[in-house]
Amino acid sequence: MNDRNPGKKRRDDGKGDDDGPAARPVAARRERYLLAGPQRFLTQLETDPATTLHRVIPPVDGFPAVAVAEMEADRAAMLGATGAVHVEPDLLLQYARPGTGAGTRFADPGVLPTGDPAPIGFLVLGSDGRPLPGAEVYLMSETFPLRGVTGDDGVTVIDTPAGALPALNGVYVKPRHDYWAVWLGRPDLATDAPNLVTCPSFAETFPGFPQRPLDGWARRALRFDALPPTFRGDGVRIAVIDSGSCVTHPDLAGRITAGIPDRDADDWRVDVVGHGSHTAGIIGGKDDDYGIVGVVPEAELHSCKIFPDGRFSDLIEALDYCLARRIDVVNLSLSGTQPSPLLARKIEQARQSGIACVCAAGNSGGPVGFPASMPTVLAVAAIGKVGEYPPESYHATQVYGVPTVDGYFSTSFTCHGPEIDVCAPGVAIVSAVPPANYAAWDGTSFAAPYVTGLAALLLAHHPEFRDRFTGRDSSRVDRLFDLIRGSCRPLAFGDRNRSGAGLPDAVAALGLLPPRCWPSCGR
């Protein structure tokens, strides 16, 4: 008997004893819902013993009050059936970047080979010989993923089920920052010694980086490098609704004007994930001859923090912030698994107020996620380019189909469908991550910010938005999206659903030159 206190007999009736709290039977959890209707009715939910009311979002310009509450599913169905309120699930949102092992489909993880597990050790070093602490090591197969994280010595040990080694598809090693992730397909792993994995450093690929600023492939692909140096997005307000922003990062210091929530250590100035900082760096990173530079380094940036654990209700409140602050462009590098009528109505309210929403398509490799699936937003798919990352890096696994003659390819992870408006670089995108470092990540999360930056450039510098489309209304948003789509270079992927109108051209979109006569478009 393995009892932490052999002197006492543990009770098995669930009532507990002096060793600790009583066991609690597993019960179905309450789900979270959005209830829209009269505010007076919603506030009464606070006295309902069958409901846990978290908060009530006030009404805004005809948009109803929305209660965020937990209750049993049958209770929610009953309230919806009364017709007094609209009821829908308050679902979790996801980052629009690939999960680990994108494209790998797992079988039942409970079906594992029997026998004693084998400890498999790994030593993860940078190409400069330094141990890489905090590197994630994944053993990938069709049956299970296994994960380990390296310590300060760059070492981790993963207990691997018996007989599993021959079934491994590969080893995926993801450094925390400043080094390329590595993919080792069909690995021959040692069980009696650490397996050495070497990750190339950014400094090796980009000599002098970050002391010498990086002009990444994405900027060249969209022709931002060909714009006049005075085109910097000044006067335009952009909101990044994400995981916050690390305001102490060299490329973000002094660049974020305001945000939500604004409270203590949990506010928008802290980014424990890195996703929001990476996105903000792409859009508006500081131009100071160091690190990376954003598309619009003089635009006004706002950081609306809803991740981790962001839900539809949090996004509705963030959009209310954008309405109140007269934001011009919102970057939504996120997606939900199903549509929300209330959120769709809020996004349309933003459009009617002149706010353009640029949305990442999602990374499931399937249909376009929500809200990118809405016809009134600009949905962005992700592409990559051969030769813009080390051949042994994980980025090389993201190629879908046959690359074009100039090396562009659709990605295995990008969501696709007729809702896609445009595509943009989303593979091996180097940008800022906390505390003062850089990471190369893949995802439609990092394609959308380039289009957000282009939208800001158009609002700041295209003559039509100084002469004709000066009001804050839906016509301004629609014209903005038309200009972006109209500037695009079609890409020969053989499937327009993966690229939409194609890859935007910043020079053409701004009216500085007519769109190029791309061979495939007949212009």
Give the chain's radius of gyration (CA, Å).
25
Q: Are strands 378-385 and 356-360 parallel, antiparallel or unpaired?
A: parallel
Confirm if 368 and 415 have CB atoms less than 8 A apart: yes
Helix (H, G, I), strand (E, B) or coil at 20: strand
303, 245 Cβ separation under 8 angstroms: yes
Buried (b) or exposed (e) across 313-328, using 16+ Cβ within 10 A? bbbbbbbbbbbebebb
Which sequence positions are flagged as catalytic?
A: 242, 275, 445
Amino acid occupying residue 219: R
Listed as own residue / partner, the contacts of 38-41 with beta carbons closer than 8 Å and 24 or more positions apart are 38/64, 38/65, 38/84, 38/85, 39/64, 39/65, 41/84, 41/85
**The token pair that represents 399 in the structure block:** 């190629």
What is the rounded distance in angstroms from the CA atom of residue 406 to the CA atom of residue 427? Answer: 16
CA of 452: how far to CAs of 170, 283, 297, 403, 445, in Å? 35, 7, 13, 25, 11
Q: Which conformational region is residue 40 in: left (phi greater than 0), alpha (psi within -120 to 50 degrees), or beta?
A: alpha
Phi, psi of 354 (to 5 degrees): 85, 15
Query: Would you tell me the crossing angle of helices 312-324 and 341-352 to the nearest 10 degrees?
Result: 10
The encoded tokens of residue 247 equal 């305001």
**The tokens 């690229």 sit on which residue?**
499
